[in-house]
């Protein structure tokens, strides 16, 4: 899931604050994380007019952004490009050598998540999906089937109002 947020600001000094709240409803969601991939600021009079070189990056010379290898691949400095790890191995994003492609273990219940549609006519549907990036071997495994259920409860940290699960206020 990706969000782009834009702010029009008057000149002057500004502080930005990113805040993230996590409601853990089960052991499978305990280690979920959020990642800020990029922050771009345009129109700054005092910006540097020199190019900064990207280190261990697959960006072309003169690029405005440094791009790195995605999960399940590594940067090969001799070829100056990203190479996929073998199918039975995985790596984290921005991996710098094939030594960081690790053996995949068999997937378990913690390797997938679910979400729900909005409540409609007192019902909602659950959808299951593999974690992304997938760092385990899911061959021969299937996700649980989607199911329709009554909107009788919400996840921890939410409450039901007018057939919708809303987040509780802090505190």
DSSP per-residue codes, 42-94: ---TT---SPPPPSS--PPTT-SS---PPTTEEEETTTTEEEEPPTTEE--TT
94 assigned to some structural domain: yes
What's the pLDDT score for residue 157? 78
Find the Cα–Cα–Cα–Cα dihedral 82, 78, 100, 84, rounded to 10°. Answer: 30
3 has pLDDT over 90: no
Q: What is the pLDDT of residues 6-33, one digit of tens each?
A: 777 776 666 676 666 555 555 555 566 6
Q: 0.75 cut: is pTM over it?
A: no
74 assigned to some structural domain: yes
Residues whose CB falls within 8 Å of the CB of residue 68, separated by 6 or more in sequence, listed in order: 56, 57, 58, 75, 93, 94
| DSSP classification of residue 164 | E
85 assigned to some structural domain: yes
46 has pLDDT over 70: no
Greatest mean pLDDT among 11-25, 91-105, 114-128, 153-167: 91-105
Question: Which whole number is the average pLDDT over 37-47?
Answer: 66
The total number of structural domains in the chain stands at 1
What's the pLDDT score for residue 85? 93
Residue 76: which domain range? 51-103
Residue 171 confidence class, pLDDT cut points 50, 70, 90: low
Question: Which whole number is the average pLDDT over 35-58?
Answer: 66
């Amino acid at each position: 899931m990706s969000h782009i947020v834009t702010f029009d600001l008057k000149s002057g000094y500004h502080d930005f604050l990113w805040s993230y709240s996590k409601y853990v409803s089960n052991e499978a969601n305990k280690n979920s994380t959020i990642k800020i991939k990029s922050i771009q600021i345009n129109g700054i009079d005092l910006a540097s007019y020199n190019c900064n070189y990207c280190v261990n990056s697959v960006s072309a010379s003169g690029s405005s952004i440094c791009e790195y290898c995605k999960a399940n691949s590594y940067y090969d400095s001799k070829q100056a490009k990203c190479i996929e790890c073998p199918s039975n191995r995985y790596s984290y994003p921005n991996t710098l050598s094939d030594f960081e492609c690790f053996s995949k273990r068999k997937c378990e219940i913690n390797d997938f998540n679910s979400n729900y549609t909005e409540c409609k006519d007192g019902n909602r549907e659950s959808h299951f999906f593999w974690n992304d990036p997938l760092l385990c071997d899911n061959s021969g495994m299937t996700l649980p089937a989607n199911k329709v259920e009554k909107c009788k409860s919400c996840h921890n940290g939410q409450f039901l109002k007018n057939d919708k699960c809303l987040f509780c206020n802090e505190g």
